[in-house]
Amino acid sequence: MKPANNLRSLWISAAALVCLACLILAFWPRRIPPQKGVPRPVVSGGLTFPRGKGKIAIVLDDWGYSLHQLPALKSIHRPITVAVLPSLLYSSRVAREARAEGLEVILHLPMEAVDPKAPREAGTILIGMPRNQVVQMVDQSLASVPFAAGVNNHQGSKATADRPLMELVLGQIKHRHLYFLDSRVTENSVCRDVARSLKVPYTRRDVFLDNDKSPEIIRIRFLDLAKVAAKEGRAVGIGHDRPNTLQVLQEAAPALEKAGYTLVSASELAQESP
């Protein structure tokens, strides 16, 4: 073979090796170091949460219609707060069984919504009711939910914006040494101001976990909850007595703890609220 041809073959081989090396480097998985001062997120069970030291309270509403989700609730083994609707067939039993598991129980008190067509629970507290009737309804509701440590509102977009009514309701809560969790179903809620003026332990919802019932969206809402806790040092998430919510909660609870968060009852955050 002529020297010129040998030289040409060597150049072609060298070029091919360089191209191959470039391709390998382009597609080789690389470890991207975390930015300075930014902790790496924690991946657990398919869920990814930012690292944080915040406290998280998870509240599950609307218990009392059935016992279907009690086994799933009991299997979580975390300090979940169980909000029980009053005077339903299983209200008392759910409250007693949840308390026996060491879970916190609160009354999920039905209150008037802005939408007059919104379905109402029996015993819904309405604006304009006589004072004695409101007091009696709060008494009856609490009697049907034993071991209640606090109260949160079911619906109530109209009621929680009415100062005279909330002064009466929160006055009854204070009289019974309970706390109030504002579900924040309206931006016009006066509950925080009234609670401060009456010195009632108070906290409020940060994230609704399951307005969309799909597991994928619920997982995103849990991520939102973790972000609030990482930023603020505390967060309250409200979900419901639903299979998908409990399924995702079972995945999310250990993942949140692995990322550094502490799961607590809602009363703990109420006691710490300004």
Could you tell me if residue 6 is inside a domain?
no
Into how many domains does the chain fold? Answer: 1
- For residue 102, the domain's CATH number is 3.20.20.370
pLDDT of residue 271: 83
Pairing of strands 262-264, 234-240: unpaired
Q: Band of the pLDDT at 82, cuts 50, 70, 90?
A: very high
> Taking residues 244-267, what's their average pLDDT?
98
pLDDT of residue 150: 98
3-state secondary structure at position 197: helix
Q: Measure the CA–CA gap between 252 and 122, rounded to whole angstroms.
A: 34
One-letter amino acid identity for 31? R
pLDDT of residue 39: 59
Could you tell me if residue 100 is inside a domain?
yes
Could you tell me if residue 4 is inside a domain?
no
Q: Measure the CA–CA gap between 95 and 179, rounded to whole angstroms.
A: 17
pLDDT at residue 224 tops 70: yes
Could you tell me if residue 29 is inside a domain?
no
pLDDT at residue 167 tops 70: yes
pLDDT of residue 38: 46
Q: Band of the pLDDT at 34, cuts 50, 70, 90?
A: very low
Contacting residues for 173 by C-beta, under 8 A, at least 6 apart: 138, 150, 151, 179, 180, 200
Could you tell me if residue 32 is inside a domain?
no
Q: Where are the alpha helices (DSSP H) in the chain?
A: 3-27, 70-74, 91-100, 131-143, 163-175, 191-198, 215-232, 243-258, 266-272
Give the range of the structural domain holding residue 223, as residue numbers without chain letter: 54-272
Could you tell me if residue 98 is inside a domain?
yes
> Taking residues 2-28, what's their average pLDDT?
57
pLDDT at residue 74 tops 60: yes
Q: Are 96 and 73 in contact (CB under 8 A)?
A: no
Q: DSSP 3-state helix, strand, coil percentages of the chain (rounded to 5)?
A: 45, 20, 35
Could you tell me if residue 43 is inside a domain?
no
Alpha carbon of 265 to those of 53, 55, 57, 232, 236: distances in Å?
Answer: 16, 9, 5, 17, 9
pLDDT of residue 102: 98
Could you tell me if residue 38 is inside a domain?
no
What does pLDDT average to over the chain? Answer: 90
Q: Band of the pLDDT at 12, cuts 50, 70, 90?
A: low
> Taking residues 127-144, what's their average pLDDT?
98
